[in-house]
A and B are shown apart, each in its own frame.
Chain A
Amino acid sequence: MAFEIDEPGLSTTVQDRGRLGYYNVGIPQGGSMDQLSAEMANAVVGNTAEEAVLECTYLGPRFRTTDSAVVAITGAPVDVKVNGESREQWTRLELSAGDELSFGFLMAGTRFYIAVRGGIDVPVVLGSRSTYTLGSLGGFKGRKLQAGDVLHVGPGTAAGNQGLDGIGAEQRPTFALEQSIRVVRGLYDHRLTEAGMETLLSATWTLTPVADRTGLRYSGPVIEWKPREQPFGAGSDPSNIVDAGYAVGSIQIPGGQEPIALHRDAVSGGGYAMVATVISADMDLLARSAPGTKTRFRAVTMEDALAARADYRAARSKLWGNIL
């Protein structure tokens, strides 16, 4: 069975839990930007957490299913339509052969997810079905979907599992226009003046429209760097360093203006000082930000970050009961 794409949407890609283990050779982990929402969609249709889903950005696709299919839509709030009639998010939808799935305007957030029982069947590349568009790697032909594409649905790995009956309102992630994002300082926070770090952690930052799978750029006050004689190999700006590996989620501030938080498709290294790093438990939250979102960066300790990671993992594993 397959989905026949009539309209691709702005940027619809196949994603899964990511391509781990190749960051050292410059291939980012990728995967669904909002992992929790994607995982919830899989849990509802009766997949495991492994199956690939469709990640839809701002403007959703329109497609037909060639056979009956069980799907679920999670993530950013959006009008879901089956043959033009409204349907719910966060629950199982039974489609019949020939049914058309389409979407209205996004009401908040940035990305929503479509899971189908059996998962989107594209080749596994370096251990993942995720699309890395900048490297033309994985997913459907290494690119976002286009009109006329035919996406096959796989047999899945959790045969016989009906899935959760839905995700209750209290369990769903929220898509607020104000966010508090936890960060750990470093690795190059010593390059900021005390006032500079104070500005980063006290200002309210506004997410600009320059935000995608590689990173999110914020507008706000200018950040002060310590002056120094730049070492050999570093650029001339005080925000430049001798090239170094970039932590996933790290924040750089080219020229001291407009911090950029790197996300799942970001490059693995470069020459901008990373002054702080978004903790792994808040990367999904960051991914839910729509342009205009007012954001505070709040510093936590490494211990707090690790505890938050463990809590987030535990919450996610609860979705799966005894399935996994």
Chain B
Amino acid sequence: MSHAIVSPLPGLFYRKPGPGKDAYASEGDRIEIGQTIGVIEIMKQFSEIRSDVQGVLTSFEVEDNGAVNPGDVIAVVEVAP
């Protein structure tokens, strides 16, 4: 079963904690519940986006540094125990 991780916020989505750093997660990675997959910047605040399921992250639906709105799908996780 695939599960969509949805943005609660508008803003800019970043897959890395900073320039030159490794991405929080990549497509194909095993993801645990509560694991951070990226951050959203809005009003000079960075909010971590966490997975609410465990499984394999199959795709990011938003580009790195891309704009998001509340309700937008950020990533899809194939749920697996």
Contacts and interface: CB of A to CB of B under 8 A. Distances in A.
Interface of A: 10-11, 57-59, 105-107, 209, 211-212, 290-292
Given A10-B42, A58-B9, A107-B70, 17 more contacts: A57-B43, A58-B8, A58-B10, A58-B42, A59-B8, A59-B9, A105-B6, A105-B71, A106-B70, A107-B71, A209-B12, A209-B42, A212-B43, A212-B44, A291-B10, A292-B10, A292-B67
A209 B13 CA distance: 11
Nearest to A58: B9
Interface in B45-80: 45, 47, 67, 69-71
B74 to A, nearest CB: 13
Contacts of A212: 43-44
B43 A291 contact: no
Nearest to B7: A105
A69 B42 CA distance: 32
B29 to A, nearest CB: 26
B11 interface: yes
Size band of the B side of the interface?
A: 10 to 19
B10 A290 contact: yes
9 contacts: A11-B43, A58-B9, A58-B10, A58-B70, A105-B8, A105-B70, A105-B71, A291-B11, A291-B67
B41 interface: yes
Kindly name the residue among B43, B44, B71 whose own CB sees the greatest number of chain A CB atoms within 10 A.
Answer: B43
Contact of B11 (A11, A105, A107, A209): A209
